[in-house]
Each structure stands twice: as structure tokens, then as C-alpha cells.
Amino acid sequence: MRTFQRTALLMVAVLLVISVVGCQSTSETQAPAGEKAIVRVLTMDQAAMSVDQMNEVATEFMAANPDITIEMTYVPYEQVHDKFVTGAATTPPAYDVVMTDVVWYDEFIKKGYLTDITDKATQEMKDDIFPTAWNVVTRNGKSYGMPWLLDTKYLFYNTDLLQQAGFTNPPKTWEELLTMAQAMKDQGLVEYPIVWSWAQAEAAICDFTALLYGNGGTFLDESGQPAFNNEQGVAVLEWMKSTIDNGLSNPASAQYLEGDVLNTFAQGKAAFALNWLFMYDVANFDTENSQVTGKVGITNIPVFESIGGNPPSASVDGSSGFSITATSPNVEAAWKYVTFLTSLDTQMKYSSNQLPIWATAYEGENLDTLKAASRSNPVTVPAFADQFQYAVLRPNIAYYQEGSTALQLALQEALTGQKTPQEALDAAAAKWAELAAQ
Amino acid sequence: MKSQLTMRQKDQRLAWFLIAPSLVIILGVTLYPILNTLYLSFFEAPAGINLPKTFVGLENYRGLLTDPTFWATIGRTLYFTIVSVGLELILGLAIAQLIQSHPPGWRFLRVSLIIPWAIPTIVNGAMWRWIYSADFGALNGLLQELGIITRYQVWLVKPASAMNLVILADLWHVLPFAALIFQAALAALPEELDEAAKVDGANAWKRFWYIRLPQLRLAILVVLIVRTVEAFRVFDIVYIITRGGPAFATMTITYLTYLETFAYGKLGTGAALSFLISLFTLLMAVIYIRFLYRPQEQSE
């Protein structure tokens, strides 16, 4: 009996060890040649190309490359960073390709997550894609992904409400905008004329960036020290809070993300809103999801009078790239997919929610094709050319995630009246200085 | 006598042998991660590919215990736990007593109680986020119909109310658990004591307070331990409804752990936080058992 038990126990133990070791050895094997390579893609279901469009691209790619299978995973923008980082902890990683926001590149590169594709990019790509797009994915001369999206926020306005209130042109300054908003509120046209994405999330930092630089402020001074708590920065946050207090901004803005802004604006419950380009197509054309179709105006974001029209507009750079995980067993297949997704042809075809990164798309015959490529393009293509030149990059710092959270907290503390704007921004600046020193 | 003992020993050996595989697996998925987390908590360990870990001793713990954010978060988590478990206890007992008194439709009531509990937390969170919505929410609609508010309120941007609203959403979800346990315990109580007290002239309240409640001690212990541990580690409902906002007003200790670990990539700090949470929940379980568990009740 005893020997039987011992043998049995030993067998169980051996089996367990084998199964553990077995797991490890299979997980580290590369996909053998001749077998289908699987490329797992993680991206957002928020702004830019829609989920349907991304799925179509994947289908087209697989039809052209029968030896590669694309598996798409869509999550809200807020979850992409954390999901990718968690998935990269294993070998092989959970995702081979990830949509990478411009503000994540410094962190991801420092942590070794991304494949350097500098030598893979063709001369044509290097020459024909906008340098600003390459800047999104490039640090110290090395590129860690293909540029995919050049996006910036715009001022959207409801042309109908503007007209009813007696105005013909959209505002050029924030002061002008408030005057119009007040007139609309006084006439009872709309309860809360302005809606923002000021939830405790990156979306709030994007709106803050446009306002901060529109008031002559800056995130970091020349020595790299936080400067958003200076006079200009504090004035901006005070202004934000005052528009909520006097009922010109929708108070729910403090819990809204970009999707909520779209919903509120598309329901006709706001006259003004900041959002990315994708909002135009939905709000102005999609009768199922919008009650303001045909009444959507898109223009440059205003600035404060204090800076005297220099620059005449300030927005935020919300660009991103598609990068390949450094530990992916299928780098070549992944690269094929990424170049297909970001190619001139694909970008021209799916340009209703995001415009091409290719400079050549805006030249000669291509420009005519591009303008005709979707119902939105006749309006969005010129709007992009007007606004993108004033898009401001958020700081390229490896501690961006934690720094951004500290600043989000400061904005929320001031908006909810727990701290004065000065106190809140000072605390966030102290946190940034501490993070920079680490 | 001797052979009987060996029989018993044999039985025991067989028992050990039979549970050995599951024991190995259980230890593998509990003890190993706990020890590994403890080990990791002594390092500065940035998330990343092939990044070196640095041994820092107790620095992660020192950093946390001297950080006001940590203590504010502990305070909020305790508030959530105490209010949530307290209400579950009181309302759970009340509902159990109501069902036990068999009013008309009590069977339907008992079955319908299970519905909120059967809904996944994530679905429950999404549902309540819609209920609280500033523009389309059912709560605003209801209160306006009743004339309590004149215009729609933005419930989740007020730090003072956000936490209580998250508690309400969680309470709706977990209250049935407490109510069902209490109801089962009440149903199992001998009726003789109750009847004897009735004959002696004790009113309903006295019979509940002096006769039934003391006998429910074990059921209360179970609910307290299970729910306190769960409430202290609340994450998903916060993540869905408020994401820790506004201004961190609903940031609980597990949410902070999530941020440190996955958003900021500080695996060492995250491990230290996880370990502190484990210690804390263990401590609470010990305290409850100390005060509420009486072994003699078993032998009665």
C-alpha cells in the first residue's frame, strides 16, 4: 500500500513538473514555417477609423495574405495602455501590434516594448509621409512604429443655434465664444451651450492643452521644469471653472469623455464642443445617431484675447502610430499588416474619420480623389490643413502616465471646488518635478 | 484496538493521497503567488522587457505608509466597507425577517431577490452608470417626476455624493446575498424558544433581539467576513461607474493598486500594496472570529 502511494504521488509530481515545463517550452517556440502566422492587434474603438472600417482592412489584408491571420481586439482608448502593458509581460506577448498614442512612445521605448523599424521603412515611406507624422513614432533618430493617425481637436459648432442667436461667423476668441454662449443661454436656445471632455482622464488633458497654449501657457519651461502652474495656466483653469459655475459649460463635462461630448452635441444639447475629427462624419451625416445632421460646423479652436492672435489658434496633437511588440514571434507578418494599414491606398480609402499621413495624398490628382473619397472629406480636408498646423504636442516624457494622472486630479479638484486652481496646479507641478527627478 | 488504529491511519493516508493533487494545485495558485508577491514587494521592479529589478528592502512599504494618498485611500476604502457592510447587515436582517414572517407573495419576493445578485458586477455597474446619467438617467427622471428636483443633476461629479452612489449601486447588487443567508438561518431556528417567549409575554421586537439574533451569530459571522473582505477589495464597480473620480473621491485601495501596477508600471509598489491588502483582510477576519465565533455553539 505504502509503496503504491509513494509511486502514485511521485507520478503525480512528475506529471505536474512536465506539464509546467511543457507549457513553457511550447510558449517560447516560434511559429514554424509554412504554418499560418497569427498577428494579434490591440487598438481603440474611439476616435479615428471605426471598428467596421478596421475590420474591413483586416479582411482585405487576409485576402491578400492567406498565410497570415489577423485577430483584432478593440477596447476603449482609456484601456489600451494598461491592457498592452499587462499583455506584454508574457512570452509571447498577448498582442503583436498595438495602437500607440504619441504620449506613450517615450515610456514604451524606455521599457523596451517596441520593435525598432527604422531599417524596415522604405525610402518612399520616409520621403512621402509628413515629417510631423514620423515625429510621432521617432525618438533619437530611431522609429518605433509606423505613423498611422494625424489628429487634432477642432471647434465644432451648431450652425442652426448660432444663426438663431443672431451670429453669422464662428468665434475666433474664447471671449467671443462666451458672449455667443451667453446670448444663446439668455434666449433659452440651449441650457448649457458648451460641452467638454473633462472627466478624470487623458481627454481632459487634451482640452486643457488647447486652452493652455491658447493663453500663452506651456507645460514645461525651457529647463524642462513644469510651468503649467504659472499665471497663464492658473488663469485657464479659473476660466474653466467659471464657465461651469455660470452655467455656460455643461456641468456634466467633468465626467465626460469624447464619446459623451459627441452624444450631447449630436442630441442638439450643445452649441459648441471640442472633439477629434471623427465627430464630423457622425454628427453631420449619421441620421441614426445624430439629430443635428446638416447643421454641424467645424473650425479652428479659438484662443484668448490676451495673446493678441499670435498664434491665431491652439489645439492639441492627438496623433498615434501602430507599433510592433519587441517580443512578438511574428514581427515580419506584423510589419506586413502595419504597412498595409498605413499605406497610401488604405488611408485614402478609409478617410472619412481620419485623414492620410501621406503628404502625397494632398498633392495633384490625389487631392481631388481624397476630397471625393467620403461625404465628410470636402469639409474635413481643408479644416485639417487649417487646424493641424496649430496642434501642440503634449510633453515627451517617460513619466507621462503618472504625470498626466496628477494633472487630471488637479483639474478635477479645481473643477469640483476642493482646491483653488492655484493650489491644485501647484500640487501637480510638484508631483511632476518629483517624477522628473526619479 | 491496535488494528483499528492502523485502519484509521490507513484511511488518513488514503485521504491525504486523494487530496494531494488538488492540494498541490491549490498551493500552486495561492501560496506561490502570495510568496512571489511578497518577494517582489522588496524590489523596485519597473514593468518592461528585460528591465533589471533593484532590491530596496522595505522602501516600498515605507514609501506607501508615509504617503498621504495611501492613507486617504485607506480611509475611503474603510468608509465604503463600513457603510456598505453595515447597511447590508441591517437591511439584510430586515428583509430576511420580512420573508420569514411569510407575508402574501413571500415566495415571489424570495425568488426575485436573487435577480440582482445573479447580474454580473460589470453589468450592474454599467446599468447604474446609466441610471445616474446626467442627461438621460432614470434617477433624474424619477426624482423630477416626484418633484424632488426641478432640473437634472450631475450626480457623479460631486465628490461628496459620488462615493455614496457607488455604495448604493454595490448594495443593490450584494444585499440579496446577506438577506438569503439570514433567511436560511432564521428558517432553521427552532420555533419552541420563540413560542415560549411569546407565552411569557415578550413582544416581537424583544423576541427578535434577545432570542433570534443571538442564534444568528454564525450567519452574521459568515456574512461579515465574506462581505468585509469583498467590500475592502472593491474594484470593478468603481472602475465602471467613476474610474476613481471625481478628483479621486472614489479611489479605493485596489484601484490605487491597479494604477500603480498597470498604469504606472511600478510592480514593486503594486506588490507591496497587494500584500498590505491581504494582511488587512486577514486581520479583519481574525478580529471577527475572535469576537463572534464561540466553539461551544457547534457542540450544542
Q: Tell me which residue has cell 465644432.
A: A156
Higher pLDDT, B162 or A3: B162
Query: Chain B: which residues have CB within 8 Å of chain A?
Result: 10, 13, 17, 20-21, 24, 46-51, 134-135, 154, 156-159, 242-249, 258-259, 262-265
User: In sequence order, which ranges of chain B are alpha helices (DSSP H)?
Assistant: 2-29, 31-40, 59-65, 68-100, 106-118, 121-131, 138-145, 159-188, 191-199, 204-206, 213-215, 217-232, 236-241, 253-258, 267-292, 296-299
CB contact under 8 A, B243 and A199: yes
Residues in chain B with CB shorter than 8 Å from the CB of A82 are 258, 262-263
Task: Please give the domain boundaries of chain B with CATH numbers for all domains.
Answer: 78-294 (1.10.3720.10)
The amino acid present at B163, given as its one-letter code, is M
Domains, in order of start, for chain A: 37-151+318-389 (3.40.190.10), 154-316+399-437 (3.40.190.10)
Report the Cα–Cα distance between both ends of chain A, in Å, rounded: 62
Mapped onto helix, strand or coil, the DSSP state of residue B246 is: coil
Sort out which chain A residues have CB atoms less than 8 A from B159's CB and list them: 416, 418
Residue B273 near residue A411 (C-beta atoms within 8 A): no
Examine the pLDDT at B21 and tell me if it is beyond 70. yes
CB contact under 8 A, B49 and A107: no
Compute the residue count for chain A.
438
pLDDT at B189 over 50: yes
CA separation for the pair A49, A51 (Å, rounded): 7
SS (HEC) of B105-160: CHHHHHHHHHHHHHCCHHHHHHHHHHHCCCCCCHHHHHHHHCCCCCCCCCHHHCHH
In the sheet that A154-158 helps form, which strands lie side by side, from edge to edge?
A194-195, A272-275, A154-158, A296-299
Q: What is the band of B295 on the pLDDT scale with cuts at 50, 70, 90?
A: low
A194 DSSP assignment:
E
Neighbouring C-alpha atoms within 13 Å toward the C-beta of A282: 23
How close A326 gets to chain B, by Cα (Å)?
8
Q: Is the pLDDT of residue A31 over 70?
A: no
Distance between CA atoms of residues B195 and B199, nearest Å: 6
Comparing CA positions, the residue from B237, B244, B246, B235 lying closest to residue B126 is B237
Burial A56-95 (b: 16+ CB within 10 A, else e): ebbeebbeebeebbbebbbbebbebbbbbbbbbeeebbbb
Q: What is the dihedral of CA B239, B245, B249, B253, to 10 degrees?
A: 40
Read off the pLDDT band of B196 (50, 70, 90): confident
Q: How far, in Å, CA of A263 to CA of A195, rounded?
A: 10
Burial A208-236 (b: 16+ CB within 10 A, else e): bbbbbbbbbbbbeeeeeebbbbbebbbbb
Give the closest residue to B91 by CA, choosing from B286, B261, B223. Answer: B223
Residue B150 Cα distances to A72, B135, B215, angstroms: 46, 14, 48
- Who among A16, A88, A255 is closest to B156 (CB)? A255
User: Is A12's CB within 8 Å of B24's CB?
Assistant: yes
Give tens-digit pLDDT for B88-145.
Answer: 999 999 999 898 888 888 888 888 888 998 899 899 999 999 999 887 789 999 998 8
What residue of A is the nearest CA neighbor of B155?
A252
Backbone phi, psi, residue A11, to 5°: -60, -45
Q: How many CB atoms lie within 10 A of CB A377?
A: 20
Q: In the predicted model, what is the mean pLDDT of residues A160-182?
A: 96
**B195 vs A400, more confident:** A400
**Are A252 and B135 in contact (CB < 8 Å)?**
yes
8 Å CB contact of A107 and B46:
no
Q: Do B246 and A12 touch (CB under 8 A)?
A: no
Which of chain B's residues have a Cβ under 8 Å away from the Cβ of A416? Answer: 157-159, 246-247, 249
**DSSP state letters, A199-215:** SSSHHHHHHHHHHHHTT
Task: ipTM value, please give it.
Answer: 0.82
Give the per-residue pLDDT at A319: 94
Chain B residues touching A267 at Cβ < 8 A: 135
B283 burial class (0-12, 13-18, 19+ CB within 10 angstroms)?
Answer: exposed
* Residues B189 and B106: beta-carbon distance below 8 Å: no
Q: Write the pLDDT tens digit of every residue in A411-420.
A: 999 999 999 9
Taking only Cα atoms into account, the Rg of chain A, rounded to an integer number of angstroms, comes to: 25
How is residue B176 written as a grid cell? 440579496
**What are the φ/ψ torsions at residue A46 (nearest 5 degrees)?**
-120, -100
Look at residue A234 in the predicted model and tell me its pLDDT: 97
> Rounded to an integer, what distance in angstroms lies between the CA atom of residue A296 and that of residue A289?
14
- CB < 8 Å to B135, chain A: 252, 263-264, 267, 269
- Please tell me the predicted confidence (pLDDT) of residue B133: 87
Interval A343-353: pLDDT, tens: 999 999 998 88
Distance CA B116, CA B92 (A): 14
Q: In 10 A of CB A246, how many CB atoms?
A: 12
Nearest CA in chain B to A92: B49
> In 3D, which of A420, A408, A432 has the Cα closest to residue A207?
A408
Per CB-CB distance under 8 Å, the chain B contacts of A200 are 243-248
Rounded Cα gap, residues B234 and B254, in angstroms: 7
For chain A, the farthest-separated pair of C-alpha atoms sits apart, in whole angstroms, at 97
Q: How confident is the model at residue B4 (pLDDT cuts 50, 70, 90)?
A: low
Percent of chain A with pLDDT over 70: 92
Model confidence at A24, pLDDT cuts 50, 70, 90, reads very low
Cell 491525504 belongs to residue: B16
pLDDT 10s digits, A35-90: 789 999 999 987 789 999 999 999 999 999 999 999 999 999 989 999 999 999 88
- pLDDT score, position A7: 54
- Name the strand (E) or helix (H) holding A333: helix A331-341
Side-chain half-sphere exposure of A154, counting CA atoms within 13 A: 27
Average pLDDT, chain B: 88
Nearest chain A residue to B20 by CA distance is A9
Chain B closest-CA separation from residue A371 CA (Å) = 36
Q: Which residues of chain B make contact with A86, given a CB cutoff of 8 A?
A: 262
